[in-house]
Amino acid sequence: MGEREEVSLELEAYALQREIIESPARFKVVKGGRRSGKTEGGGIDITRQAMRWAQERAPEDAGLWWFAPVLQTCGRGFSVVNRVAKKVITHRTREKGNMSIWFKGGARLEFKATDKEPDNLRGIKVFAAVIDEAPQHSNYVWEQVILPSLIDCDAPAYLIGSPIANPDNWFYQMYLMGLEENDLGIKSWSFPTWANPYLWKKMVHAPRLAREIFGEGYTHVPKFVRDMKAIMSPGAFDLEIAAKGELTSSDYFQAPSLVEMLKAARGPVDTEKLKNTGHAYSLWEKRVPNARYVIGADTAEGLPNGDWSVAYVLRRVNAEEAVQVAEFREHLLPDTFGDVLHELAVHYNMAHVLIEKNNPGLTTILRVFRKGYVNLVQAWDVAQGKPPSGPRVAGSFGWRTDGHSKPVLLGDLRGFLRRKALILNSKGLIRECLALRQLPSDKSGKEGKTELGGPRGSHLTKTVSPDRIIALALAIQGHLKLPFSAHMESESKEARTNRLFMDERRERYEKLTGKKEPVSTLHLP
Are residues 367 and 354 both part of a single domain? yes
Which of 34-38, 132-136, 251-255, 261-265 has the least mean pLDDT? 251-255
- Over residues 380-428, the pLDDT tens digits come to 655 555 555 555 555 678 898 888 888 888 989 999 998 999 999 998 8
Are residues 108 and 214 both part of a single domain? no
pLDDT tier at 210 (50, 70, 90 boundaries)?
A: confident
Q: Is residue 246 part of a domain?
A: no
Domain range for residue 418? 256-511
Residue 422: which H helix or E strand, with range?
strand 422-423
Residue 442 has pLDDT above 90, yes or no: no
Residue 28: which H helix or E strand, with range?
strand 27-32
Q: What is the pLDDT of residue 340?
A: 96
170 phi and psi angles, rounded to 5 deg: -60, -35
The C-alpha atoms of residue 271 and residue 273 are separated, in whole angstroms, by 7
Share of the chain above pLDDT 70, in %: 79
Q: Is residue 60 part of a domain?
A: yes
Q: What is the pLDDT of residue 206?
A: 82
Are residues 282 and 189 both part of a single domain? no
Are residues 310 and 430 both part of a single domain? yes
CATH number, domain with residue 397: 3.30.420.240
The answer to whether 30 touches 39, Cβ cutoff 8 Å, is: no
- Kindly give, in sequence order, each residue whose CB lies less than 8 Å from that of residue 217, ignoring residues fewer than 6 positions away: none
Residue 180 has pLDDT above 60, yes or no: yes
CATH number, domain with residue 189: 3.40.50.300
Helices 467-481 and 427-435 pack at an angle, to 10 degrees, of 100
DSSP-assigned letters across all residues of 90-152: EEEEEETTEEEEEETTS-EEEEEE-SS-GGGGTT-EEEEEEETTGGGS-HHIIIIIIHHHTTT
Are residues 158 and 35 both part of a single domain? yes
pLDDT tier at 448 (50, 70, 90 boundaries)?
A: low
Are residues 400 and 505 both part of a single domain? yes
Which of 146-160, 434-448, 508-522 has the least mean pLDDT? 508-522
- Over residues 46-65, the pLDDT tens digits come to 999 888 888 887 777 788 99
Residue 314 has pLDDT above 60, yes or no: yes
Mean pLDDT computed over every residue of the chain: 80
Q: Which of helix, strand or coil describes residue 61? A: coil
Q: Provide the domain count of the chain.
A: 3
pLDDT tier at 6 (50, 70, 90 boundaries)?
A: very low
* Residue 53 vs residues 48, 103, 476: alpha-carbon distances, Å: 9, 10, 56
The order of strands in the sheet holding 186-191 is 89-95, 98-103, 108-113, 62-68, 125-131, 157-161, 27-32, 186-191
Q: What is the pLDDT of residue 401?
A: 86
pLDDT tier at 197 (50, 70, 90 boundaries)?
A: confident
Are residues 278 and 206 both part of a single domain? no
Residue 491 has pLDDT above 50, yes or no: no
- Over residues 352-390, the pLDDT tens digits come to 999 998 888 999 999 999 888 888 987 665 555 555 555
Which of 282-286, 298-302, 327-331, 389-393 has the least mean pLDDT? 389-393
Cα Rg of the chain, angstroms = 28
For residue 54, the tally of other CB atoms under 10 A from its CB is: 15
The C-alpha atoms of residue 328 and residue 310 are separated, in whole angstroms, by 6
DSSP classification of residue 180: S
Q: Is residue 466 part of a domain?
A: yes
How confident is the model over 23-43, as a mean pLDDT? 89
DSSP-assigned letters across all residues of 456-514: TT--SS-----HHHHHHHHHHHHHHHS---SS--SS-HHHHHHHHHHHHHHHHHHHHHS
Are residues 107 and 207 both part of a single domain? no
